[in-house]
Chains A and B, each alone.
Chain A
Amino acid sequence: MRRFFANPYLVVVATALAVLLLPLLLESSFYLRIATLVFIFSLAVVGLNLLMGFAGQVSLGHAGFFGIGAYAVAIGPTSLGVPSWLALLAGALGAGLIAFVIGRPILRLRGHYLAVATLGMGLLIAMVFNNEAAWTGGPDGMLVPQLDVAGWTVHGTHAWYWIAGVSLVIGTWIAANVIASPTGRTLRAIHDSEVAARVLGVDVAHYKLIAFVLSAIYAAVAGSYLSLYDGLVTPTEAGFLRSIEFVTMAVLGGLGSVFGSIVGAAVLVVLPQVLTVFQDYEHIMLGLMMIVVMVFLPTGIVPALAGVLQRRTP
């Protein structure tokens, strides 16, 4: 039983089943829209979890990469004449490239110093989107043309539900592969003790960089999806609060758990929708919930529940 739950590919199957079955349960397109948003955010958080949960490196600036993807599909078609699908790829590549270039110096930093450096990086990217109004429309943001693949225009919740859902399944599958590979083992070793890993001959900087670049690509693809789906992008997509939201999703669901990333994203996407009923109290409830979950389930929702299950099953 325990071995069954420990299989990293279990979450891939579970996600695929959820994506297939959810449309049967969710009849209104409002619920389908929320499910789509959960998939999109999950994609970004699964990537971030590779960095935070497995490599053990904090990033308070991942919304920067999310924003690069989001603006790539906006600026590409409108200003540069690049088709959306190519702009999406270029955004993902660009985010990966930026992560590769700044990752090496940034990832030398540790703990809170790394936190402040990634924070600064995210803020710098957001500031560019805010200030270069000729390209980005400034603080008001810009409209995003619809995705057009070989004559088929992708629009509407149904189309994006399937695109986001299938992408998330692929995303969890890639993550499961990374985790099960020697790279994943090395990342966990770095997480446990960087010095010990280095003593064993691990090129620590190299592996941290792999996780950083991968997570940046995940975030950029998710960003592209969100802005294509919404048809609008603003600098808040790249802002500090968005970064914090990603980190909170990852930690709330459980660091080091791919399934936890999806649960964390689902909680933080669904909860505000439920809380809009309380209007003015929305922030109070959100803040309270973050505190309460972290106080009582410090390892996150999924690892805490898995711990309970494991104690029950002999």
Chain B
Amino acid sequence: MAEFLQFAFSGLTVGAIYALVALGFTLIYNASDVINFAQGEFVMLGGMVTVFALAAGVPLPLAAVVAVVITVAIGLALYRFAIEPARGASAVSLIIITIGASILLRGLASLAFDKNFHSLPSFAGSKPIMLGGAAVLPQSIIVLIGAGVIVLALWLFMARSLTGKAVAATAANRLAARLVGINTGAMVGLSFAVSAAIGAVGGILAAPITLTSYDVGTLLALKGFAAAMLGGMGNPLGAVVGGLAVGLLEAFGAGYLSSSYKDAIAFIVILAVLFVMPQGLLGRTHIERV
């Protein structure tokens, strides 16, 4: 039982990070139909900028804020200079653009920072807490709480604020949204900014546990994308469920089956789910007009 709990906690911690990446995918996809493969780079930037700001003598809270602001600026630049000019291009072209952006950001990060692994000090000490026989790092709890707060804040923003509703309207039907006076371009830009911020916060929260380096983004983007698809693309709740599911699958797969095939187990389950439910766990059925 202690072993089971241990795996569950580590799975939930990693899963929370995947959920944040998947949430970023979902937000941008809903607003602009773009699968943003640079989403993982937002997570990398959050962690790396914080690490280097901290090393430069900036206190941790301020370093974290600086990291989020810089990442948001890069997210907006990505939208303004790469996505918006290519509007109307095919889905594959847009995917290539975001992959190009992710290669570009990785190259810039390896120059601006370095190619080593870095870690942040834990925000609340490093003495593990014993829960039902399982040792849990305080940072894991911070990751889980942090992810929960982000999801809640995002939900409140989307459901309660006028701006959030404008974003949702843009996602539902861009033309109709423009007809009722919504600045749809700004809303898409906003969703890029929010996605970048969510990614950056995820990167900062996870850095004390998972380490960060200039190239952590690729794998995170893959897992986050897979999680978003598992949950059903375009569904924020699905993204969270998918992220946690991928994290748990990995942790239990690594613990009970084989650690070298832990990624395989997650993907086999994803393939199996898609075969049975081609629209993901919580996705809508696709209807096409001919």
Which residues on A are within 8 Å of B, measured CB to CB?
52, 58, 105-106, 108-113, 115-117, 119-121, 123-124, 127, 130-131, 193-196, 199, 240-241, 244, 247-248, 251-252, 255, 280-284, 286-291, 294-295, 298-299
Taking CB atoms, residues of chain B closer than 8 Å to A283 are 103-104, 106-107, 110
Chain A residue at minimal CB-CB distance from B260: A131
Taking CB atoms, residues of chain A closer than 8 Å to B99 are 244, 248, 290
Residues of A contacting B: mostly = helix
Taking CB atoms, residues of chain B closer than 8 Å to A131 are 260-261
Taking CB atoms, residues of chain B closer than 8 Å to A52 are 92
Contact of B86 among A105, A124, A294 (CB under 8 A): A294
Taking CB atoms, residues of chain B closer than 8 Å to A290 are 96-97, 99-100, 103
Taking CB atoms, residues of chain B closer than 8 Å to A193 are 290
Chain A residue at minimal CB-CB distance from B97: A294
* CB proximity of A45 to chain B, nearest CB, Å: 14
B286 contacts A by Cβ under 8 Å: yes
**Bound CA span A173–B35, Å:** 35
The answer to whether B97 touches A113, judged by C-beta atoms less than 8 angstroms apart, is no
**Bound CA span A130–B262, Å:** 13
B274 contacts A by Cβ under 8 Å: yes
The answer to whether B271 touches A287, judged by C-beta atoms less than 8 angstroms apart, is no
**Bound CA span A281–B108, Å:** 8
* CB proximity of B157 to chain A, nearest CB, Å: 25
Besides the known contacts A105-B275, A298-B90, 20 further A-B residue pairs in the complex with CB atoms under 8 A apart: A111-B91, A112-B233, A119-B222, A120-B226, A127-B264, A194-B288, A196-B290, A199-B290, A247-B92, A252-B96, A255-B90, A280-B111, A283-B107, A287-B100, A287-B101, A287-B105, A287-B106, A287-B107, A294-B100, A295-B89
Residues of B contacting A: mostly = helix
**Bound CA span A244–B97, Å:** 12
Contact of A113 among B101, B107, B278 (CB under 8 A): B278
B73 contacts A by Cβ under 8 Å: no
* CB proximity of B45 to chain A, nearest CB, Å: 15
B85 contacts A by Cβ under 8 Å: yes
The answer to whether A291 touches B275, judged by C-beta atoms less than 8 angstroms apart, is no
Taking CB atoms, residues of chain A closer than 8 Å to B93 are 251, 294, 298-299
B79 contacts A by Cβ under 8 Å: no
B82 contacts A by Cβ under 8 Å: yes
B9 contacts A by Cβ under 8 Å: no
Taking CB atoms, residues of chain A closer than 8 Å to B263 are 123, 127
The answer to whether B226 touches A116, judged by C-beta atoms less than 8 angstroms apart, is yes
* CB proximity of B254 to chain A, nearest CB, Å: 13
Known: A294-B100, A298-B86. A116 touches B108 (CB 8 A): no
B52 contacts A by Cβ under 8 Å: no
The answer to whether B274 touches A298, judged by C-beta atoms less than 8 angstroms apart, is no
The answer to whether B100 touches A280, judged by C-beta atoms less than 8 angstroms apart, is no
The answer to whether A291 touches B97, judged by C-beta atoms less than 8 angstroms apart, is yes
